[in-house]
Copies of this chain bind each other. A is one copy, B any other.
Amino acid sequence: MSERNQVQAEVNMEVNLGGIALANPVTVASGTFGYGREYEAYVDLARLGAIIVKGTTLEPRAGNPTPRIIETPAGMLNAVGLQNPGVDVFIQEHLPYLREKQATVIVNIAGNTVEEYARLTAILDKQDGIAGLEVNISCPNVEKGGLQFGTDPNTAAGVVAAVRQNTSLPVIVKLSPNVTDVVAIARAVVEAGADALSLINTLLGMAIDIETRRPVLANIFGGLSGPAIKPVALRMVYQVAREVEVPIMGVGGIVNWQDALEFILAGATAVSIGTGNFINPGISEQIIDDLENYLVEQGIRDIRQLIGAAWL
């Protein structure tokens, strides 16, 4: 028995995220891990709690002009613009690879209309090798003048209900942090059928190039991610986890096991690593190892004992 297997035997790292059985709570966040393949040199893909693939849309999307990214203090802005080859290419080219690698796959889906979400869901529902869907509601609602679905409880619930109707797969809803009352949105989407929530998506930000005196990003605004946003993400997880019944996936600025543990203590059942993958492509597996070791050292037999342990 390898050393790692011994550790695994001693402690339980398995969690259940709204019907998705995860071997451990450590997943990788949408848009930061490609389709897994990009990381095969650095990570044993089958070992991850789950791989959440790049946001997938019905049709291919070219994405935004460049520059698309810029570093900020302990963070980064991105305005990739949901570049992706569309759901058909995903199913034909990427899903078989992930299946073969025995990865637990969660597909992040995005659309500009409720109809698009519904059709996308129906297509993915029929595929083998998908453990669940993550619904990105931080997308502009073209029928409502481009306002994001995720900024209003009713619109958010509308998307989720449409997804729910079209699949029996577990549905995770990914919330936007750019709202006044994240708990209200959380409640609305849970009522509409979400099995789990993931939070947070990126904060809306920008940077200006003082040389050219123009916004750095071609898109002007971008999404702020990385350690800079961790305090905001943690706060939202803590607030929401106490108010809803469904499990939470914590995302935002996790770059080591201590960060991951903070989210679990705040009430997250699982965590997702985003920007951290860019700093160290092997970080996700490292965090699994480190959390396991922590449990062993602390004599904690089951990681689930720590979920929400910081609640007062």
Contacts and interface: CB of A to CB of B under 8 A. Distances in A.
A77 interface: yes
A206 B224 contact: no
A312 B214 contact: yes
Given A262-B210, A266-B208, A310 B232 contact: no
Contacts of A204: 232, 235
Nearest to A258: B210
Interface stretch (A47-55, A67-75, A165-173): A67-75
| SS of A interface (majority) | mixed
A309 interface: yes
Name the interface size band of chain A: 35 or more
Contacts of A253: 73
Interface in A261-279: 261-262, 265-266
Interface of A: 72-75, 77, 151-152, 178-181, 203-208, 210, 213-215, 220-222, 224, 226-232, 234-235, 238, 253, 258, 261-262, 265-266, 306, 309-310, 312
Given A73-B227, A213-B306, 6 more contacts: A73-B230, A178-B180, A210-B261, A214-B310, A221-B235, A224-B232
